[in-house]
Every structure is written in C-alpha cells, then in structure tokens.
Structure 1
Amino acid sequence: MGMNVMVRDVGPPAAVASVRAFRDGLAFLDPVDLTDADRVDLIDELERTKRAAAAAQARMTDALRRSVHRAAAPGPTARRDAARSLGSQVALARRESPGLGDRFVGTARALVHEMPATMALLERGLMGERHVTEVVKETAALSAADRGEVDRRLADALPRLGWRGAGRAARRVAAELDAASVVARTEAAVASRRVSVRPAPDGMAYLTVLGPLTEVVGAYAALRTRAAAVVSGQVPDEAPHGRGAGAVAADTALRLLSGRAIGQVQPVEVHLVMTDRALLGTGDGSRTVSEPARIPGHGSVPAPVARSWLRGAGEGSVWLRRLYGSPDGRDLVALDSRRRLFGGLLRRMLVLRDDVCVTPWCDAPIVQGDHTHPARDAGDTTFTNGSGACARCNLVKEAPGWGVQVVRGSSREIQVTTPTGHRHRASAPPVLGWGSDPPSRLEQHLAGLVDAA
C-alpha cells in the first residue's frame, strides 16, 4: 500500500542517528566535477555500501530475534506467535511483506551463527543480499555442521558468481554432503505443488503451475506441439487467426484449464471499477473518458482495454453495480451492517476500497474482513471500522504489543503500532487507484473564483 510514513515518539540513539546522518549525506554527492572513472568508482563503492548495510541489518535482526525469543512465554504456541510477530516487525521496518520478513529473519540467523565466511563477504561488499539469500535457501535442509562446510568450500568462489550461480554451487555441495536431506527436501516439495496468479503489465497476468519437473515439461511440450499444429493449419476445428505459436499455446492452456469449448466466453466474475464517464461517456463532464479502470488486487487497466473486455464478454454476461463515492470522488461511501461477520456486499465493499491487505507494504490479497477496532471491545461491523486483511496480518495484530486503529479525522487512514512502539501508517487508495485523486469540488470552485478575478 502506498503513501506510508513511519513516526517515532522519542529521539533515536546515537547509532541510529549516525546511520541516518550518513544516509542523508548521500543526497549531497555531486557527480558534476567527477571524471567518468571517478563516477564508476563511486558506483562501485555505493554498491559495496548497500551490501555492507545488508550485513548490518542481518546482525540487528538476529539480535532482535534472540531478544524476542528470550521474552516469549514457554510453549510451542507462544514461540510460534512470537516468531510470527517478529517477522512482521522486521517486514514493516524493511518496508516489505511479512513473508519476506520471515525469510530475512531465517537468513540472518544462518549468516550470523552458521556461515561466517559468507557473512564476511557480505560485510565487505563482495556479495549481495540476493546472493546470500540463495546460498542460505539451498542449504536449508542441512545440519549446522554441513552448512558450515558449504560456507568454507564456497568462500573463495562466491564473489565471482552471480546470484543464480551461487545458488547452484550451494545446491551441488549440499547434495554431496547430505544426499538424503536433499532427496527428502525434493520429496517434500511435491506436497507444495500449486497454481498461483499474479498481475503483469498492460492488463495481463501470470498463471503459474508449480509441479514436478517431468510433468510440467511434458505439459509444456504438449502445448507447444498443439500450437505448432494450429499455426500450420493441421487442426480442422481451430484456425490460427493471425496468432503465433506462443499465443496459441497460451489460449489453449487457458481454455483447457477453464473447461471451455473453442470460442466459448470465459465464465468468471471480475470486479472492474471504473467511472460512468469512462464506461459510457456520460456523467461528470469534467472527468476524462480515458480515466483508467481498476481491478482490486491487480491494479489499473486502460479504459479502452476495459471497454473492449466488456464488449467481448457476450450478451447477458455483464452486470453493472453502481458505487457511490464521496463528493470529491476519492472514497466509497459508507455501508453499514448489523452482522458480526463481514460478508456479502459489505465484504465486497472492503475489497473494492482497500484493494490489498491494509498492513503497510504487505500487498497480499485480501482474505478476511476484519474489525479495525475489535468486536470484543464493542467495535462495530461497519464499512468505516472494517479492514481487508490477509490471514497472517489479521493474526499478528492480536499478538501482545500490537495495535491497529483508524486515524481520527482521516478519510481512511490506519495506524499500526508494533511491540517496540514504532508506528506505521497507511491509507486506502482512491477508488480508481493511486494517482487518480481528482480535485475536490471545493478546490475546483475556488480555482474558478481565482480565474474569474
């Protein structure tokens, strides 16, 4: 979620102030009077500085992990809750998702306690954070002793490798040291097979199938064979219609996965939010017909593309639902419910408003409708008090020391408070997405008065 700021109530200690002063000083580096050789040298040193900063982050993260675990109550449930809370705190501090926060906590622990040579390379700026993440990931199934042996063997080679090469090297040594653990990891990976979707630029999306190598390669080969036959005119029931082999393969895969016959319309519901002006050319004449539409959780779509989707959807397959916005056109209006759970149209309104999980920098899809002010403390099941959240963030906010509240006087801004007292704020996007804030009616009126004068 965009437009996030972090505030603190107390002055930072000397260590934080020192790093902050160094960071601020980077803004005053002037490249004008430097030679090209100097500029290249400076680019190199700044890259090393980023890598050394990642090493310092790892040390701080592991120290925080040890402190949190010492303070945690005994028992597996309490330790699991503490680990989840820790990962979310680190994620907020790094402006990243909770999943990446968990990953960095594990990486930091491995670097600090089990891989001193790799850590030293990171500190000296000879390896990047992505490199060490790959090495740690590929040695995750090993014992501490075997991981240390990988660290020792690859210490000289790693600075010369890219991040993919570093991962391959670590994987090879791991397979040599403990083949059984690598086999067990491979077998366990089969249980994680899944299908996922994520947005792509220009109104497209990626559909990813994670499965056993042999089966995925076989499916890909079958698609390519079918596509080649269609393009060459050897399939009587399907013509290429100007498509290349790649487009035919993609169309075939999507058609077969959705169970459609050739030429059948895709029977799926998509929440497409756009103004009446952009859709029909009617309504507020001050707005443009080119204003992009938005698909919650996936981002903006150019208005002509959205209109073409609707034209090609087929008769009787498009349903319109009017959404009423605030006078300035930024926010959806409130919708209340007396029910305890967020369901039906109320839940749909939360998804349309919040787009993705409301936790700053999470960006995970909305899974649960949640009470910002808890229902157990007389929080209302209302549009204003509701929040769209992923399952992870909804659980974390119930952990000791966490708090979430709607900022008083804001249109829809929440504040997340962590156990260390840090506060992070995030706003719901405008109804058509970030960058679409229209001027308010009052601003337009005042501008008209100024022009008239």
Structure 2
Amino acid sequence: MDTPITAAQVRELTDLLMTGARPDDPEAQIDLISALEDLKSAACGAQAETAVAYDAARRSAEAAQGVSARRQGRGVAAEIALARKESPHRGQVLLGFAKTMCAETPHLLDRLKDGSLSEFRAMLAVRELSCLTAEDRGVADVELFASPQALEGLGTRKLVGKVKRLVCELDPAAVVRRRSNAESDRHVSLRPAPDTMAYLTALVPVAQGVSAYAALTREAATMQAAGDPRSKGQLMADLLVSRVTGVPMNDSETTPPAVPVGINVVMSDATLAGGNGPALVESETIPAEVARLLAAHALEHGSELDNWIRQLYADPSGRLVAMTSKQRTFPGGLAEFLRLKSHGICANPWCDAPVRHIDHIKPVAEGGATSDENGQGYCEACNHAKQAPGWQQTPIDSGPGGVETITPTGHRYRSHAPPLPDPACHTDWISEIERHLRLTVDDLVPSP
C-alpha cells in the first residue's frame, strides 16, 4: 500500500533545501540541479493529483448535503489558487489541466511526475489535445507519452509540433473547428508595463493582424521619408493611438498625442509641492518627477481635457478615511474611493486582476454596513468564489485595508491595501500646496 505524502514531510524537505550546504564538486552540483528539476516536475504532478482528489471530495460532500450539481465544487479553483499563491484564473486553469491529465492522459501525467516534462510543457501538450474527443486524447496519450525515451532531447517547439501533427491525423475536422472557435475569441486587452507605459494587445485572425501591421509600417515609412524625426516604432505607436481615438497626430518626438481619458494619479501633498516621494498611476509606482510631469501635461492641455484634483484623507496609520465628494463624471463616490484605496487591483491575495465589483467584507445579510470600512474592490472571479459555502471574511486592524479570508478548510489568508504615498510631515504644508497651485505649468515641474 502506498504511503501517504504529508505536508510535514514536504516541509522537512523544504527546510533541507533552505538550510543544507551545497556540494563543492562541480559534477555533484550539476547532478543536484538536474535532480531538483525532476523534483519540481514531480511536485507539480503531486499537486495535480491532490487538486483532483480535493475537488472530488468537495463535490461528493456537497452532493450528500443536497447541493445542486451545477453548484457543486464552486470555489474549489479559488482555494487551489490561494494554496498555490496564484490568481483565481490561474487556479481554474491549473485545476482543469489536472483533471484532464488524471482522467484522460495518464501517461502524460507519468512523464510530468518522472521529470520528462515540466509543468509548462505538459500544459502546452494538454492545450493542443483539447480539441480532440476523450477517446482520441487517450490514443494520442499512448502514442506520444507512453515512453519516456520518446521525449529525450525534444525541445518545446518540437514537442508542440509533434502533438499538432498527431492531432491533425486523428481528427482534421476538430482542428478546423478549433480555428473557427479561435477566431470568435478575438479581443483587445491592456496590461501595465514599466515606467508608466502599457501593453495594448489585440488578438485577431492572422490576416487582419498582418494587414493592420503592414498599414502602420507603410504609413510610418512614408512619414519618415517626409522628414519626421521619430523612429519607426514611435510613429507606428502614435499612428495607432491617433487612428483608434480620433485625436490628431502631433510632431513631437518625445510626447505622444493627448487623449481624453481618466487616469488616477495618486501623489502626496509633499510630492506635488516638490518632494521626492513616489506616486501611483493605476497601481504602478512612478517617480515624483514623472508624477508632476503628468500633472503639468494635463494642465497644459486644459482646453482639450477635463482635469480636477481630488483630496484623499488618511489617518496616522495610513488608512484612507475620507475623500472630497465632488466629481463630474462618476456619481458613485464611495465606489471610486474603494477602488483608489486598493489602487484599482483586486483585494484578494495574489490576484492582479482589475477591480470590477465593489463588495461587502461582511455581507449585508449578516449585518455588514455599506461603508468604506466594510468595503473592498474585487475582480469578478474572486467575488463569485467567496460566495461559495464555507467562505468567510473579516476586517483586521494589522494594516491599512486589512482583510482575513477563511476558506472552507479553515486555512487563513491575509491581504492588505497597498500603501499610499507618504503625506507631508512639515507644519506649513497647506501654504506650500496653495503656493504651488498658483504657479504656471512650467514652474510646476522643477528644473533638473
């Protein structure tokens, strides 16, 4: 009978890896690196099997309690995500991957556990097999992964290509359907980049993508031939923004076109008055100088853009306690306050998704108040997960915006609102702010 693996045994191995001495012999060092890589893969395989077992146990228990089949297992992926320090979306992906391996591709699971495949490469293989029927996936599993020797020296691209070729042989029609489904998944996404930049990404059919890129390249080359000093990349980026938003192109090599969009720049009074404390733009930390440049740029284009300054008030511990209420474009002042409080990022631990729901920490049904102390910004997935039976949340006082989440198994996870820029500590800060707000745009940005 197999001996159960316990968390205590794994922690003992973790302690050994953290505190044990490394070998001095070069050959032994390479052997250790190789063995640790195999260990990582074996751990991923054990995680997958345990996740599937936990999901099955939860569903069985809920079925015995009379929970409808549609609602059974709700929140399991979020629990797995918390345990693995991942986002809820990633938890859902990992659980689906584990279920497929355990139920339909056991040889692939064996290759993960013996170190022949990493978790990343195993997930790529499962993705390529996903368009097949369960029966065909079983056939592909035997042909591709029954022998560890078949994977020796096989790089990631070669592995994916091998899987794709077999999928095309087993079910060509499934590949055609997959392509049609992929086209229906076209979308545009935005994610932050360093230094107050952003990645604007469009997933489109290849013909449309090539056509759009060629049009931008052609126009940029024409403008360069006419003497525009900007690089090809700068011109293509400015052309994209201009054509999508309708704002006219400018001739600046360093300043992109001004666009009418609301961006929350959060800075302390000390930073606005010339201090060095960093500021925040949509959850990204930026230097004080960049924050003042953004403010100056907004004021400079005041005739084109609507701008305002709103005050946030914090207590000595750094917790936001109030906000000036006037704003012309968003009536939900409290909701906006809570979004700013969390920097626009979901309050759930390890989740980087943007805030979509403003939620009660203590539910209204249990007497929770609709207030800033009992409110938090959550993404849609996290908000739905915490509605599952057995989940609890309570505010904590150990830091600004602290919340403790208790999962159905009794595990506890704590999260805190990110810190805000430090306010001015000198006594005459009000007069400093008033004096600098009277300055011209050029004076607002200190000279280098």
The TM-score normalised by the length of structure 2 is: 0.84
Q: Alignment partner for residue 18 of structure 2, among 11, 22, 27?
A: 27
The question of 1:276 aligning with 2:269 is answered yes
Q: Is the 8 A contact 2:361 2:375 kept in 1?
A: yes
**Cα offset, 1:373, TM superposition:** 0.8
Matched ranges for 1:298-377 at <5 A: 298-313=283-298, 314-316=300-302, 317=305, 318-328=307-317, 330-334=318-322, 344-355=332-343, 356-377=345-366
1:103 corresponds to: 93
**Cα offset, 1:258, TM superposition:** 1.3
Q: Alignment partner for residue 236 of structure 2, among 230, 249, 268?
A: 249
The question of 1:150 aligning with 2:143 is answered no
CA–CA distance in structure 2, aligned partners of residues 350 and 138 of structure 1: 41
Q: SS of the counterpart of 1:160?
A: coil
Q: Is the 8 A contact 1:52 1:124 kept in 2?
A: yes
**Cα offset, 1:216, TM superposition:** 1.0
Deviation string, structure 1 residues 238-262 (Cα, Å, up to 9, x no partner): x52x321111111111111111112
The question of 1:396 aligning with 2:385 is answered yes
Q: Is the 8 A contact 2:42 2:115 kept in 1?
A: yes
**Cα offset, 1:357, TM superposition:** 0.9
**Cα offset, 1:76, TM superposition:** 13
Q: SS of the counterpart of 1:380?
A: coil
**Cα offset, 1:192, TM superposition:** 1.6
Q: 1:247 to 1:350 in 2, by over 3 A?
A: same
The question of 1:205 aligning with 2:194 is answered no
CA–CA distance in structure 1, aligned partners of residues 14 and 190 of structure 2: 37
1:286 corresponds to: none
Q: SS of the counterpart of 2:132?
A: coil
**Cα offset, 1:194, TM superposition:** 0.9
**Cα offset, 1:303, TM superposition:** 2.0
The question of 1:231 aligning with 2:238 is answered no
Q: 1:59 to 1:275 in 2, by over 3 A?
A: same
CA–CA distance in structure 2, aligned partners of residues 423 and 159 of structure 1: 42
Q: Is the 8 A contact 1:336 1:382 kept in 2?
A: no
Q: 1:261 to 1:153 in 2, by over 3 A?
A: same
Q: SS of the counterpart of 1:425?
A: strand
Q: SS of the counterpart of 1:333?
A: strand
Matched ranges for 1:114-263 at <5 A: 114-155=104-145, 156-233=149-226, 240=228, 242-263=229-250
The question of 1:39 aligning with 2:32 is answered no
1:81 corresponds to: 71
The TM-score normalised by the length of structure 1 is: 0.83
Q: Is the 8 A contact 1:335 1:382 kept in 2?
A: no
The question of 1:18 aligning with 2:9 is answered yes
Q: Is the 8 A contact 1:127 1:159 kept in 2?
A: no
CA–CA distance in structure 2, aligned partners of residues 440 and 119 of structure 1: 58
Deviation string, structure 1 residues 41-86 (Cα, Å, up to 9, x no partner): 2111111111110011011011112212223349999444334411
CA–CA distance in structure 1, aligned partners of residues 155 and 127 of structure 2: 15
CA–CA distance in structure 2, aligned partners of residues 416 and 439 of structure 1: 34
1:293 corresponds to: 279
**Cα offset, 1:14, TM superposition:** 7.0
Q: Which segments of 5 or more consecutive residues in structure 2 lack a partner in the other structure?
A: 251-256, 427-448
Shifted more, 126-135 versus 106-115: the winner is 106-115
Identity %: 38
Q: AA paired with 1:127?
A: L
CA–CA distance in structure 2, aligned partners of residues 40 and 177 of structure 1: 40
Q: AA paired with 1:278?
A: T
CA–CA distance in structure 2, aligned partners of residues 255 and 45 of structure 1: 53
CA–CA distance in structure 2, aligned partners of residues 175 and 427 of structure 1: 49
CA–CA distance in structure 2, aligned partners of residues 149 and 439 of structure 1: 68
CA–CA distance in structure 1, aligned partners of residues 408 and 100 of structure 2: 25
Deviation string, structure 1 residues 363-393 (Cα, Å, up to 9, x no partner): 1110011111111222111111001011111
Aligned length: 405
**Cα offset, 1:29, TM superposition:** 2.7
Q: AA paired with 1:347?
A: A
Deviation string, structure 1 residues 267-301 (Cα, Å, up to 9, x no partner): 111001011222232xxxxxxx22221123x4212
1:4 corresponds to: none
Q: AA paired with 1:29?
A: G
Shifted more, 353-362 versus 408-417: the winner is 408-417
**Cα offset, 1:161, TM superposition:** 3.0
The question of 1:68 aligning with 2:54 is answered no
1:427 corresponds to: 416
Higher relative contact order structure (alpha carbons within 8 Å, sequence separation ≥ 6): 1
CA–CA distance in structure 1, aligned partners of residues 80 and 424 of structure 2: 37
Q: AA paired with 2:232?
A: A
Q: Is the 8 A contact 1:327 1:440 kept in 2?
A: no
Q: 1:103 to 1:426 in 2, by over 3 A?
A: same
Q: Is the 8 A contact 2:270 2:423 kept in 1?
A: no
**Cα offset, 1:336, TM superposition:** 12
CA–CA distance in structure 1, aligned partners of residues 295 and 157 of structure 2: 42
**Cα offset, 1:425, TM superposition:** 0.9
Q: Is the 8 A contact 2:196 2:281 kept in 1?
A: no
**Cα offset, 1:428, TM superposition:** 1.0
Shifted more, 86-95 versus 392-401: the winner is 392-401
Q: Is the 8 A contact 2:313 2:323 kept in 1?
A: no
CA–CA distance in structure 1, aligned partners of residues 64 and 36 of structure 2: 44
